[in-house]
């Protein structure tokens, strides 16, 4: 917009300009009064700036002048299929139902045993009949492989009398396989009381991988869709409760714990209460690691068994003994003491991939009559594998 003087001011200016007595120009520069007030904007008229307006004439709506064409168009629209809603995105699986981690390689886990005493054993057995085998060397090799002295003598004696048509190796293989306990191929911990959970009591000596085994079992069963609850009843070992909590977070399962040095029996009792209230179908209880020579600690395990019977009358908990495969015959002595105290129902053999003496499996099952339920062939969660007797023997001689 522009500022323009009022018409009366313009007229006065024009009159002065046409005065005949006025000179054509003023030689003196006009004086500027610095104290004069600022001009008042009201002395000027506001004139809007010229604007260019563009007018758009409204277009006439298109019409269909042909009635037949209109009818065809309507018919075509009506013939269009109904819109189909987009398929809903698949729901994210719940954390508790996520698939279990891939299992480890059983055959690869036995590589050291197969390349250790089993390689020497097969060398002494030879490829011919029983008369061609070096039976004294076979016996010594079995003893060195943690089969045990007396059991090794029995295996050699029966194999020599067997006269297997497959030769000496086939005879020894058949005798070793016969040492393993018969078992249910689809074994799984199941509730024995209506409305109550299945219970696994995990026992063993410190340093065998007991708490780690519990974490791997929890991850396995949670991955199968079971509702698992852990009981931190190892209240004696420093950091045992914290270690179990870490495994519980990894497996996404709850854990019941008390303060350090609390009564282990009270922890198990509260865990069973919580399992019944929450509808959990499996409770896995950690216990304090103890030497088999400590009678007071072994009595504590018997007390926990009585507490389970009191809270869930008629319950038949699985009692799994965790055994370090590298301890050999000393581990077998530990297992015998635990079996006499609490009655073992299964063995978890850890660190089998770290030993060249896998013969301890035959000694345990023969001497205790208790099946090996799981074997550890690595450090990953999926490396705790269900024990398959046929696959074990095949992997040793493979």
Buried b (16+ CB within 10 A) or exposed e, 53-70: eeeeeeeeeeeeeeeeee
Q: Among residues 390, 387, 334, 302, which one has the least CA distance to residue 109?
A: 387
Task: Calculate what percentage of the chain has a pLDDT beyond 90.
Answer: 41
Q: Tens digits of per-residue pLDDT, 292-319?
A: 556 666 788 888 999 999 999 988 999 9
| Minimum mean pLDDT range among 175-184, 189-198, 254-263, 296-305 | 296-305
Is a pLDDT exceeding 90 seen at residue 197? yes
What pLDDT does 329 receive?
86
Residue scoring higher pLDDT (342 or 364): 364
Cα dihedral sign, 208-210-212-216: positive
Residue 2 — φ and ψ, nearest 5°?
-125, 155
Strands (E), the chain: 2-5, 44-47, 198-204, 228-233, 255-256, 282-287, 318-324, 346-350, 372-376, 384-386
Is a pLDDT exceeding 90 seen at residue 364? yes
Average pLDDT, whole number, for the chain? 79
Q: Quickly state the pLDDT bin for 2 (edges 50, 70, 90).
A: very low
What pLDDT does 22 receive?
46
Residue scoring higher pLDDT (269 or 96): 269
Q: Tens digits of per-residue pLDDT, 61-116?
A: 455 455 556 666 666 656 666 655 545 444 443 434 444 566 767 778 888 887 88
Contacts of 287 (CB under 8 A, 6+ apart): 201, 202, 203, 210, 233, 234, 264, 300, 301, 304
Mean pLDDT of 24-33: 47
Contact present, 284 and 253 (Cβ < 8 Å): no
Residue scoring higher pLDDT (134 or 253): 253
| Minimum mean pLDDT range among 158-172, 293-307, 315-329 | 293-307
Q: Which helix (H) or strand (E) holds 212?
A: helix 210-223
What pLDDT does 10 receive?
46
Q: Which two tokens stand for residue 184?
A: 């249910």
Is a pLDDT exceeding 90 seen at residue 253? yes
What pLDDT does 194 receive?
85
Residue 185 — φ and ψ, nearest 5°?
-65, -30
Burial of 252 (0-12, 13-18, 19+ CB in 10 A): middle
Residue scoring higher pLDDT (398 or 95): 398
What pLDDT does 109 receive?
81
CA distance 146 to 362: 9
What pLDDT does 320 receive?
96
Is a pLDDT exceeding 50 seen at residue 23? no
């Amino acid at each position: 917009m522009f500022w323009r003087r009022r018409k009366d001011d313009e007229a006065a200016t024009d009159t002065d300009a046409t005065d005949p007595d006025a000179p054509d120009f003023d030689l003196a520069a006009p004086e500027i009064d610095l104290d004069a007030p600022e001009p008042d904007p009201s002395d000027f008229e506001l004139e809007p700036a010229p604007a260019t307006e563009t007018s758009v004439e409204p277009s006439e709506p298109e019409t269909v002048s042909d009635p037949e064409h209109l009818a065809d168009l309507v018919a075509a629209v009506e013939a269009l299929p109904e819109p189909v809603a987009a398929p809903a995105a698949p729901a994210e699986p719940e954390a508790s139902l996520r698939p279990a981690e891939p299992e480890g390689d059983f055959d690869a886990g036995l590589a050291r045993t197969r390349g250790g005493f089993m390689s020497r054993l097969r060398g002494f057995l030879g490829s011919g009949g029983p008369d061609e085998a070096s039976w004294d060397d076979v016996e010594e090799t079995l003893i060195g492989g943690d089969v045990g002295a007396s059991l090794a003598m029995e295996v050699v004696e029966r194999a020599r009398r067997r006269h297997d048509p497959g030769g000496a190796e086939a005879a020894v293989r058949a005798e070793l396989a016969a040492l393993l306990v018969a078992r249910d191929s689809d074994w799984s911990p199941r509730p024995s009381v209506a409305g109550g959970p299945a219970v696994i009591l995990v026992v063993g000596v410190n340093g065998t991988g007991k708490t780690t085994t519990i974490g791997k079992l929890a991850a396995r069963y949670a991955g199968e869709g079971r509702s698992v609850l852990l009981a931190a009843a190892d209240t004696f070992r420093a950091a045992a409760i914290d270690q179990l909590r870490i495994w519980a977070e990894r497996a996404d399962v709850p854990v019941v714990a008390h303060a350090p040095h609390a009564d282990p029996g009270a922890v198990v009792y509260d865990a069973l209460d919580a399992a019944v209230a929450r509808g959990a179908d499996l409770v896995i209880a950690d216990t304090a690691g103890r030497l088999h020579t400590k009678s007071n600690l072994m009595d504590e395990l018997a007390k926990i068994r009585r507490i389970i019977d009191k809270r869930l009358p008629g319950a038949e908990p699985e009692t799994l003994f965790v055994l370090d495969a590298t301890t050999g015959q000393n581990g077998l002595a530990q297992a015998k003491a635990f079996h006499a105290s609490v009655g073992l129902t299964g063995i978890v053999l850890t660190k089998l991939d770290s030993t060249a003496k896998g013969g301890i499996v035959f000694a345990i099952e023969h001497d205790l009559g208790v099946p090996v339920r799981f074997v550890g062939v690595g450090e990953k969660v999926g490396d705790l594998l269900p024990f398959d007797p046929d696959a074990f023997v095949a992997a040793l001689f493979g």
